[in-house]
Copies of this chain bind each other. A is one copy, B any other.
Amino acid sequence: MSETTSTQIHLASRPTGWPTDENFSVEHVELPELADGEVRVRNEFISVDPYMRGRMNDTRSYVKPFQIGEQISGGAVGRVIASRDSSLPEGTLVLHQLGWSDLAQGPAANFKQIPDLPGVPSSLRLHILGMTGLTAYVGLKAIAGLVEGETVFISGAAGAVGTAAGQIAKLMGAKRVIGSAGSAEKVELLTSKYGYDAAFNYKDGDVRGQLAAAAPEGIDVFFDNVGGDHLEAALAAFNDGGRAALCGAIASYNTTEPTPGPQNMANLITRGLKLQGFTLSSYLNYGEEFSQLMGQWFAEGKIAYDETIVDGVDNTVQAFLDMMGGANTGKMLVRI
């Protein structure tokens, strides 16, 4: 592995529907000498996330689109291998948003030092102890306003955000947590490992009927990672005053036709429901509170997690596509 040549994944063209290899290019970029105040980092893990698909489109959003010909940015964790900034000496473990590459370089301010704890893999900073866990927490706490004793439904529950959200909901005092996932194995794991009270396979169809059976007393909170028929099912199952935190809509990220909306939107009025979408960037102020809570839960052994790991920066695109297709349980990561 070179110390000066960065292997990077760039966006070559905007995908229509499912991305293909042609939409990306692998670039070998010779890094310039470090300037004063800069550091060079060798990544240990890089993150592939569903929201990245949205940034590949040139559409208006909170988060601006990836630019063609530029590196795909996103979460990564690594170690400083060269430094011209005294605050981040060689060997420091850091988190950053520079994304899909083996080496990252730039001003020290772009890198955040993280605690290098024995027995805590650095990869966890990219999911349960990082943005993924914070996303789950913000959705339940700030957006849906979950309170003790409520029933929660989480779609796409075996993914990185879903496995975190189910456990956090229970730890926040939810009475009953129900999850949907895309295979029998994942469904089994939700109840055996992640504390879900009930789970079902949405690929068996009739999401509305399966949810109604799993939630005979209705649901109060919905954490949505999927969209489409999951949202319609939740609207049918909501108790009065129900709240949905809309985090993702993976069902429609790779479709080229418009996704039909729920046919039961009128329930919003008759039951006094709230649907609220969010992207984490507006709620980073919850980071401190989350880190304290999750740090304690994790130290007490209350948090389970799974990682699906692919090796080598060259395989990042494949890891991303596999994740979009549901090949992962828990967090999909690329190990450098």
Contact = CB atoms under 8 A, between A and B. Distances in A.
A282 interface: yes
Contact of A261 (B60, B263, B271, B279): B263
Given A258-B264, A272-B276, 8 more contacts: A62-B270, A227-B266, A260-B263, A261-B263, A261-B265, A268-B275, A272-B278, A274-B276
A198 interface: no
Contact of A260 (B60, B246, B261, B272): B261
A249 B278 contact: no
Given A259-B266, A262-B261, A265-B262, A240 B271 contact: no
Interface of A: 54, 59-62, 227, 231-232, 240, 246-249, 252, 258-279, 282
Given A258-B263, A263-B258, A263-B259, A277 B269 contact: yes
A269 B261 contact: no
Given A259-B265, A263-B260, A277 B273 contact: yes
Contacts of A263: 258-261
A223 to B, nearest CB: 12
Copies in the complex: 2
Contacts of A248: 269
Given A62-B240, A265-B261, A279 B270 contact: yes
B240 A270 contact: no
15 contacts: A62-B270, A227-B266, A231-B265, A247-B269, A259-B265, A259-B266, A261-B264, A267-B277, A268-B275, A269-B278, A270-B279, A271-B277, A272-B278, A272-B279, A275-B276
Contact of A270 (B61, B260, B262, B273): B61
A62 B266 contact: no
Nearest to A224: B269
B272 A277 contact: yes
Contacts of A270: 54, 59-62, 277, 279
Nearest to A273: B277
A227 B273 contact: no
